[in-house]
Amino acid sequence: MSQQVVPDIALGSALSAVAPVSLGMAVIGADLALRSANQAFLDLSEHKGDGSGQPIIAFLHESADSACARSVVEALAAHREFTGSVRWRGPDGAFPAELAVVPVSEHGVLQHFLAVLRPRAPGDEVEALLDATTQRLQRLLDHLPAGVIVHGRDSRIIAVNARAAELLGSSPEALLGKGAHGGWRFLNDDGSPMDSSGYPVCRTLSERRNLSNLVVGVVGSQRGEAAWVLCNTYLVCDDGGEISEAVVCFTDFSELKRAQQSLQKSEERLRLVLQGSTDAPWDWNLRTGELYYSPRWWEMVGLEPGELPTNAELWLRLAHPDDAARAREVFEQALSGDAHSYEVEFQLRHKEGHWVPVLARGLILRDEQGRPVRICGTNTDLTERKRAEQNIHQLAYFDYLTELPNRRMLMDQLHRQISRASRSGQWGALLFIDLDNFKLLNDTLGHDIGDMLLRQVAWRLRHAVRDTDVVARLGGDEFVILLDSLGKDRNAAGAEAGQVASKILAVCDEPYVLPARMYRSTPSIGVVMFDGAHPADVVMRRADLAMYQAKAAGRNTLRFFDPAMQAAIDRRYALEHDLREGLLRDEFLLYCQPQFDADGALAGGEVLLRWRRPDGELVSPNEFIELAEGTGLVLPLGRWVLRETCKRLAGWRHNPRLAQVPLSVNVSAQQLRCTDFPEQVLGAVRDTGADAHLLALELTESVMAENLEEVIAKMERLRRGGVTFSIDDFGTGYSSLSYLKRFPLETLKIDRSFVHDIHIDPDAAAIVEVIITLARKLGLKVVAEGVEEEAQRRFLSDEGCDRFQGYLFGRPLAIDEFERQFGHA
Ligand SMILES: Nc1nc2c(ncn2[C@@H]2O[C@H](COP(=O)(O)OP(=O)(O)OP(=O)(O)O)[C@@H](O)[C@H]2O)c(=O)[nH]1
């Protein structure tokens, strides 16, 4: 909008030029003080000088006509026009005069008043001068930046300035005499056509009041596009108080209107965009600390706007503990650097307790020094996107039927495990599992039933292995299990893989529940070991080959790709099979090695196990105990040994030579782990009628590494039942002296390795001395095993060892033989 305020000086000189000597003219400021005046105005006034700065009221004769002076001031204070008679303070005293004061506004803002003063002394000369003045005033009005139209009381135009005519698309001459609706149209502020009764002049006349600051669109007769004006009206009344004229003043408002319209449009657009988007805007003024979270922001976390204190800490308070520190760091780094934007993903806690993943994007506004002054941005709810990503991931990497990882995921994992194996030197194994005759099930009972079986197989496989092992479905009836980190020993790793494969064969062999029937299905399994030497596809091909060998071998079996490993596994299986059979067929025998005291009297015996195979070969436990432990066969074997020993003790009760000879039995950590172990032992004692005090259980130091409280509780229970304990192979394993004190022990057995060198190695001798001293201090007896030479016996005897066991005194004997040898006179 053009800024065309007429400067005071210009006005002053204009007034001097246009006014006759006898017609006073002046510009009155918005503060109602005189700003400039012509000579006539000054001459007519009692004030000397230029009178500038004097309030208008100072020129009026108040005492004589105070009401008149008040109404002038009131009208002007209300920015209204005043015309009427006043008493004027002249140099020679008060005189009657006509005063017209017209407000001049710009964009609705009062700039100043124009005042015309005429002494009431009618005469031709004055009238002529007045006409001239009127013309000059008209010219002045024409140059005003505002449009002015004076309507008669019938709304016809009686005066119009050039600017008004221009806005109405006509000429002043053409407009004179026209009515209020002279060929133009007006629009309301909102752009809708204005009803003629709403035209400013019509309204001011009908409502009989002045109107201020109406925004009106003018569509003139010659122009199509509306010009926008800010319109003020005022009414002029005659002496009788009747409306004589209505003056409409207007200034151009088009540019402001255009700016207003475009602002409205962009606000509307922004509002629609935000309404349509799922983003939640926020705005933070860093200078004032004012923070705005949009309603959508609150909605995203399930809260009502303002339900929690609206401060900068709020989002951090709601952020997931795993994300808060990182999100804050991103935010603070962006602020402290010179970034103009940032984005960070984190989760916000919803009122209902779940987490909402959001992407926060912020725009940083900075001042000239680069300091951040404001940040505004949006939070985008990523829930749907994350769900979609999850779905895509699920579809891409998991089997839809069993929800197991699919071939792609398996290959990823296999690549990873192979490279891990090559770094760590640990073996891994891949088990390739294919169901036997699955096609038959599909063909006879249909695909849906086939799917059911596949799901059940998947469940069994998943639960048969550790959580860290990978179980995948390749497709059809093919599954793969990946076993990781099986150790650096190839044979041990192979044995473990073979055990897992055997377990898979066993769990798959259980009947399946299918609609209206039980169903049996078996798999064939190919096993290949990997150590990083071969790529994934080679490993897969080899496992597949091995699986076909398992099929060829009659199905429901496993085959290793590596023939040597297969042979080892076969041997192992054969031994396991024989062991089981051996137990059933009573192929195990008790042997017993005697122990003597320092005087050479029989003091006890250690029960040992032997296995006489069907071919007559006598096998020592060294060859089968590890397998027995690995397969759990150690438990039935251990129970058998205990029971047989107790039987023997009971049988010796009436033999005067053997009745007080205690027997010690080796017990494995696995046996001790059984919750009912004390009951097993005490049950065997009770059932056979043996004297529990003659039964000694030999534990190795490894039991100290077990759940100590539980072990001690079981030992105490047995101790109360009369059973005694000794620690076997003392000094070779995990010895904690403080633990030793807590065990209810009777005897320490010095390991044969120390005894062996006792007479030649001072270190071994020192160890044995310490063990014996220790035992003494703890009130324990000491048994030395592996005593083979007299020098060893002497040393031990000198140190105070209680009992001796070894070839020097006697080899292990079949227990019947032992009985014969020591039970008879
Ligand atoms: N129900 C079901 N069957 C499938 C699916 N995908 C593949 N199959 C079928 O699974 C069967 C796989 O059979 P094979 O492994 O080739 O043959 P088999 O009868 O198991 O015989 P052997 O493996 O030699 O013991 C085929 O009949 C396929 O059509 C599936 O998603 N659902």
Tell me how crowded residue 425 is: count the other CB atoms within 10 A of its CB.
10
Q: If 0-12 CB within 10 Å is exposed, 13-18 middle and 19+ buried, where does residue 153 land?
A: middle
Assess if residue 785 is contained within a domain: yes
Q: Which of the 8 DSSP states describes residue 562?
A: S
Rounded distance, CA 755 to CA 806, Å? 10
In 38-51, which positions are buried (b, 16+ CB within 10 angstroms) versus exposed (e)?
bebbbebbbbeeeb
- Cα–Cα nearest to 23, from 112, 128, 93: 128
Residue range of the domain that includes 284 = 276-386
The vertex-296 CA angle with 290 and 302, nearest 5°, equals 105
Q: How far is ligand 1, taken at its centre, from the CA of residue 470, in Å?
A: 22
**One-letter identity of residue 70:** R
Q: How far is ligand 1, taken at its centre, from the CA of residue 441, in Å?
A: 9
pLDDT at 372: 93
The rounded radius of gyration (Å) of the Cα atoms in the chain is 57
Q: How many residues does the chain have?
A: 825
Q: Whose CA is nearest to atom 27 of ligand 1?
A: 439
Question: Are 718 and 678 contacting, i.e. CB atoms less than 8 angstroms apart?
Answer: yes
Question: Are 198 and 220 contacting, i.e. CB atoms less than 8 angstroms apart?
Answer: no
**Ligand 1 pocket: which of 448, 477, 556 to mutate (most atoms within 8 A of CB):** 477
Rounded distance, CA 67 to CA 86, Å? 10
My answer on whether 475 and 437 are in the same domain is: yes
Assess if residue 393 is contained within a domain: no
pLDDT at 2: 33
Q: Which of the 8 DSSP states describes residue 623?
A: H
As for how many domains the chain has, the answer is 5
My answer on whether 160 and 135 are in the same domain is: no
My answer on whether 656 and 717 are in the same domain is: yes
Last residue of a domain, one of 145, 164, 192: 145
Assess if residue 570 is contained within a domain: no
Ligand 1 atom with the shortest distance to the CA of 434: 23
Q: Where are the alpha helices (DSSP H) in 398-489?
A: 407-424, 438-445, 447-464
Assess if residue 617 is contained within a domain: yes
728 lines ligand 1 (CB under 6 A): no
End-to-end CA distance of the chain: 138
The dihedral built from the CA positions of residue 178, 180, 181 and 185, taken in this order, carries a sign that is positive
pTM over 0.95: no
Q: Whose CA is nearest to atom 23 of ligand 1?
A: 436
- Quick one: angle between helices 383-397 and 407-424, nearest 10? 80
> Which residues of the chain fall below pLDDT 50?
1-10, 12-14, 16-21, 64-65, 124
Rounded distance, CA 344 to CA 327, Å? 6
Rounded distance, CA 226 to CA 261, Å? 13
399 lines ligand 1 (CB under 6 A): no
Assess if residue 268 is contained within a domain: no
32 lines ligand 1 (CB under 6 A): no
In 700-819, which ranges are E strands? Answer: 724-730, 747-750, 781-784, 803-804, 813-814
Rounded distance, CA 237 to CA 235, Å? 6
Q: Whose CA is nearest to atom 16 of ligand 1?
A: 439
Segment 587-597, tens digit of pLDDT: 999 999 999 99
CATH number, domain with residue 649: 3.20.20.450
pLDDT at 221: 56
In the chain, the largest separation of any two C-alpha atoms, in whole Å, equals 179
Establish how many alpha carbons lie within 13 A of residue 479's alpha carbon, considering only the half-sphere containing its beta carbon.
Answer: 30
Q: Where are the alpha helices (DSSP H) in 144-199?
A: 162-167, 172-175
**Ligand 1 pocket: which of 442, 473, 555 to mutate (most atoms within 8 A of CB):** 442
My answer on whether 617 and 721 are in the same domain is: yes
Ligand 1 atom with the shortest distance to the CA of 401: 31
My answer on whether 120 and 39 are in the same domain is: yes
pLDDT at 224: 66
My answer on whether 780 and 635 are in the same domain is: yes
Assess if residue 571 is contained within a domain: no
CATH number, domain with residue 249: 3.30.450.20
**One-letter identity of residue 104:** V
Q: Whose CA is nearest to atom 32 of ligand 1?
A: 451
Last residue of a domain, one of 145, 170, 203: 145
My answer on whether 747 and 616 are in the same domain is: yes
My answer on whether 727 and 764 are in the same domain is: yes
- Cα–Cα nearest to 249, from 217, 201, 207, 193: 201
CATH number, domain with residue 442: 3.30.70.270
| Bridge partners (DSSP) listed for residue 87 | 96
- Cα–Cα nearest to 438, from 588, 579, 553, 551: 551
My answer on whether 657 and 765 are in the same domain is: yes
My answer on whether 409 and 542 are in the same domain is: yes
- Structure token digits, residue 778: 């703890």
Rounded distance, CA 805 to CA 661, Å? 14
Q: Whose CA is nearest to atom 7 of ligand 1?
A: 476
Last residue of a domain, one of 321, 356, 386: 386
Question: Are 594 and 808 contacting, i.e. CB atoms less than 8 angstroms apart?
Answer: no
My answer on whether 108 and 167 are in the same domain is: no
Residue 111 backbone dihedrals phi, psi, to 5 degrees: -95, -55
My answer on whether 83 and 115 are in the same domain is: yes
Assess if residue 269 is contained within a domain: no
- Structure token digits, residue 213: 């600051």
pLDDT at 95: 82
Assess if residue 437 is contained within a domain: yes
Ligand 1 atom with the shortest distance to the CA of 450: 1
